[in-house]
Amino acid sequence: MFPIVLVSPRIPANVGNIARLCAATRAPLHLVHPFNFFLDDASVKRAGLDYWEYVEKQEHDSLNDLEKFLTSKNFYLITKFGEKIYTDVSFQKGDVLIFGSEEDGLPESFLQRHKERALRIPMFHPQVRCLNLANSVSIVLYEAIRQTLNSK
């Protein structure tokens, strides 16, 4: 339905939670290297429970590899630097939702190349830097599903 891309994720439990979300929504999960854990780590498996077998997953060796995959696809970058709010776009089935790492977000050069595709989730307290990655994926994915649920 809506492929989810995690660029260089750092926290295994987040990836496990997102994998569970992907299983529940049938959203393919794309992971972009480098990341500092193995998908069979206990923490990743524990957070994903026993749903990993239901996740369609693909790994990309680099951001360049991901960009080749994105060539003919519509995609959005979810970042606090987006000028548009995620609810301001009309999602279509198959749109790819791209999220950066918990520590660094998305690479600046990637953001600059695709700034017209950058969306943000509003936050109202200036001292809060970001939301949890798994929560951010949930928020945007379910809005995309809500918008397209009854479309053919």
CA 128 – CA 124 distance, rounded (Å): 8
Q: Give the model's pLDDT for residue 45.
A: 58
Find the helix or strand (DSSP H, E) in which 76 lies.
strand 75-78
d(CA 5, CA 7): 6
Residue 42 is predicted with a pLDDT of: 64
pLDDT at 41 over 60: no
Residue that is written with structure tokens 């009854």 in the block? 150
DSSP 92: -
119, β-bridge pairs: 78, 84
- The per-type count for the chain, helices as H runs and strands as E runs, is 5, 7
Q: What is the pLDDT of residue 94?
A: 96
Q: Domains of the chain by range and CATH? A: 4-148 (3.40.1280.10)
Question: Which tens digits make up the pLDDT trace of 12-29?
Answer: 888 888 999 999 999 999
Percent of the chain's residues with pLDDT above 70: 90
- What was the pLDDT predicted at 146? 96
| Confidence at residue 152, expressed as pLDDT on a 0 to 100 scale | 58
Q: C-alpha angle 26/4/38, rounded to 5°?
A: 95
Q: Using one digit for the tens of pLDDT, what is the confidence trace for 110-149? A: 999 999 999 999 999 988 888 899 999 999 999 999 999 9
